[in-house]
Amino acid sequence: MPFAPFDWIDDEARRRADAGLVRTLRPRGAEPELLDLASNDYLGLTRHPEVTAAAAGAARRWGAGATGSRLVTGSTELHAELERELAAFCGFEAALVLSSGYAANLAALTALSGRGSLIVSDAGNHASIVDGCRLSRAETAVAPHADPDAVAKTLRGHEGRALVVTDSVFSVDGDAAPLPGLADVCRSANAALIVDDAHGLGVLGEGGRGALAAVDLAGDEGVVATLTLSKSLGSQGGAVLGPARVVEHLVNTARTFIFDTGLAPAAAGGALGALGVLRREPDRAASARGVATALHARLTAAGLTAARPDAAVVSVRAPSADAAVRWAADCRTAGIAVGCFRPPSVPDGISRLRLTARADLTEEQITAAVATIAATAPQEAFAPVG
Ligand SMILES: Cc1ncc(COP(=O)(O)O)c(C=O)c1O
């Protein structure tokens, strides 16, 4: 038999191509050539002069890398300052910064559960939560989307540690989780509530303090938030926020914290710079929400089917994976970058164009974007009349 241990990869690639599910990388240039409705830079901060100056200044002062894991040489005073600032801004007792939001979800889920525990996870949760559940060795029950009653039923009768985990804003359809209902269920069952606020920070809550602050659950004894610094804060990295004893427990037990190099100083500095801008200009959060509402209203008025956005993500239904890819490509040719979600990234198998509202989009840009998206839409994307 010939030595060809990777032949199966070609078979898989053919199957992907037949199903219209090939993914390709498209490196972009430094200067924006397209109108951006695809990135997660919700507040338009990634190129803000104060944010880039803070990132560059941190690299000059502290070095290009953190030099080691957080428990060895990778904790600088800058990391400690970012942790204090994140906790204070979002209203939690303590914070722990990690190298990504992905690592933050793995850290929280693995360190706060374990064999014999039960995790109840929303069916629409992000892949990093799914992977955290898998790594945790806990029993995982996938609950129907946004359904506190179903979560309550699943928790009933479980003895031992239990936790409920949800995105605050779901990345596919942009809808918000029923956090007050889930918190009530958790309180009755003595279960912890872990909320991934990747898409809520900077957009929801007063001045962008996040989804938990918006419903008065920030700082609650039974609630933990996970964050990414890579969306509204325009930087890179992640964090877990919660009671001080939870953070201390993570420092001692969370493997994606302990065995990972600390966040690069430039990323920590950039996130601190963004928090500074957001404190001074709290209206950015409401602007991002307003742009999302305007995009939704105008796209649906044009006859397209779009989910009502609870934050900055606006999702428009496409008739098929193939059609979604072609639609996104046509938008790109017409000068607009949009996201394209299709299986396996969509839990219900429905492909979508995924648009992200940015706080700094102008009226002209919103009008141009809607006109282009409607003009390039496949006929089947328009809702039947009547
Ligand atoms: C809901 C959600 N959680 C976690 C992550 C992971 O964050 P990061 O990119 O910082 O790893 C993302 C996106 O990237 C996300 O959308």
Encode 5-34: b = buried (16+ Cβ within 10 Å), e = exposed: eeeeeeeeeeeeeeebbeeeeeeeeeeeee
Adjacency order of strands within the sheet including 352-356: 35-37, 336-341, 352-356, 313-317
Q: Say whether both 335 and 276 belong to one domain.
A: no
Residue 62 maps to a domain:
yes
Say if ligand 1 is within 6 A of residue 235 CB: no
Q: Which of 215, 223, 227 lies closest to 192, judged by CA?
A: 223
- Give the separation between CA 95 and CA 250, rounded to whole angstroms: 10
Ligand 1 pocket residue status of 354, Cβ below 6 Å:
no
Both structure tokens of 209: 């303090």
Kindly report the average pLDDT of the chain as a whole number: 96
**Domain co-membership, 269 together with 137:** yes
Both tokens of 61, joined, read 């002062």
* Band of pLDDT at residue 386, cut at 50, 70 and 90: very low
State whether the beta carbon of 79 lies less than 6 angstroms from ligand 1: no
Asked about 231 being catalytic, the answer comes back as: yes
38 with 79, same domain: the answer is no
Backbone angles phi and psi of 193, in degrees to 5: -115, 120
CB atoms within 10 A of CB 55: 25
Give tens-digit pLDDT for 66-101.
999 999 999 999 999 999 999 999 999 999 999 999
Express the helix, strand and coil content of the chain in percent, nearest 5 each: 45, 15, 40
Closest ligand 1 atom to Cα of 105? 4
Pocket test for ligand 1, best of 42, 125, 171, 341 (most atoms within 8 A of CB): 171
Res 385 pLDDT > 70: no
- Bridge partners (DSSP) of residue 360 are none
Q: Encode pLDDT of 348-381 as tens digits.
A: 888 999 999 999 999 999 999 999 999 999 999 9
- pLDDT value of position 23: 86
Range of the domain at 303: 30-46+282-381
The reply to whether 6 falls in a domain is no
Residue that wins the pLDDT comparison between 386 and 334: 334
Q: With respect to residue 162, please indicate whether it lies within any of the assigned structural domains.
A: yes
Q: If you ran DSSP here, which 8-state letter would residue 117 be given? A: -
pLDDT exceeds 90 at position 51: yes
Which residue in the block uniquely carries the two structure tokens 């990869």?
A: 9
| pLDDT for position 347 | 74
Task: Please give the radius of gyration of the chain, using alpha carbons only, rounded to the nearest integer.
Answer: 21
Cα of 33 to ligand 1 centre, how many Å?
25
**CATH code (residue 121):** 3.40.640.10
Query: What is the C-alpha separation between 210 and 218, in angstroms, rounded?
Result: 9
**Integer Cα distance of 382 and 73 in angstroms:** 56
Return the sign of the alpha-carbon dihedral for residues 322, 323, 326, 327.
negative
What residues have CB less than 8 Å from 48, skipping those under 6 apart? 234, 273, 274, 277
Annotated catalytic residue 199: yes
236 and 345 housed in the same domain: no
Tell me, what's the pLDDT at 346? 83
Provide the pLDDT for residue 32: 86
171 catalytic per annotation? yes
Q: What is the tens place of the pLDDT at every residue in 246-301?
A: 999 999 999 999 999 999 999 999 999 999 999 999 999 999 999 999 999 999 99
Domain boundary pick from 240, 259, 280? 280
CATH of the domain at 356: 3.90.1150.10
Q: CA–CA separation, 295 vs 179, rounded Å? A: 25
Does ligand 1 have an atom closer than 6 angstroms to the CB of 128? yes
Peptide bond between residue 344 and the one before it cis (omega within 30 degrees of 0): yes
Residue 181 lies in a domain: yes
Give whole-number Cα distances, 112 to 106, 139, 144, in Å.
10, 13, 22
State whether 181 and 57 are in the same domain.
Answer: yes
Q: How far is the CA of 301 from the centre of ligand 1 (A)?
A: 31
Residue 135 has pLDDT above 90, yes or no: yes
Q: Cα of 358 to ligand 1 centre, how many Å?
A: 18
What pLDDT does 21 receive? 80
Reduced to 3 states (helix: H, G, I; strand: E, B; else coil), residue 206 is helix
Boundary residue ending a domain (246, 280, 314): 280
- 125 within a domain of the structure (yes/no): yes
The alpha-helical segments, DSSP class H, found in 165-308 are: 179-189, 211-214, 244-253, 255-258, 265-280, 283-301
Whether 225 and 296 map to the same domain: the answer is: no
| Residue of 48, 79, 145, 231 with catalytic role | 231
Same domain, 72 and 189: yes
Is any atom of ligand 1 closer than 6 Å to the C-beta of 260? no
How far, CA to CA in Å, does 251 sit from each of 69, 75, 244? 11, 12, 11
Number of domains forming the structure of the chain: 2
Average pLDDT over residues 33-49: 96
- Residues 321, 134: Cα–Cα separation, whole Å: 28
Q: Give every CB contact of residue 165 below 8 A, 6+ residues apart in sequence.
A: 109, 119, 120, 121, 122, 125, 129, 132, 133, 193, 194, 195, 196
Same domain, 258 and 296: no
Whose CA is closest to 104, among 96, 113, 112, 92?
Answer: 96
Choose, from 113, 199, 235, 351, the residue flagged as catalytic: 199
For the CA of 169, the closest atom of ligand 1 is 1
Q: Does residue 336 share a domain with residue 210? A: no
Atom of ligand 1 nearest to the CA of 229: 10
Last residue of a domain, one of 247, 280, 313: 280
Same structural domain, 273 and 289:
no
* Inside any domain, residue 58: yes
Question: pLDDT value at position 345?
Answer: 79
pLDDT at residue 184 tops 90: yes
Whether 175 lines ligand 1, by a CB cut-off of 6 Å, is no
**Does a structural domain hold residue 327?**
yes
Do 276 and 316 reside in the same domain of the chain? no
- Does residue 16 carry a pLDDT above 80? yes
Q: Would 236 be classed as within a structural domain?
A: yes
Could you tell me if 273 and 286 lie in one domain? no
Two tokens, residue 211: 């989804």
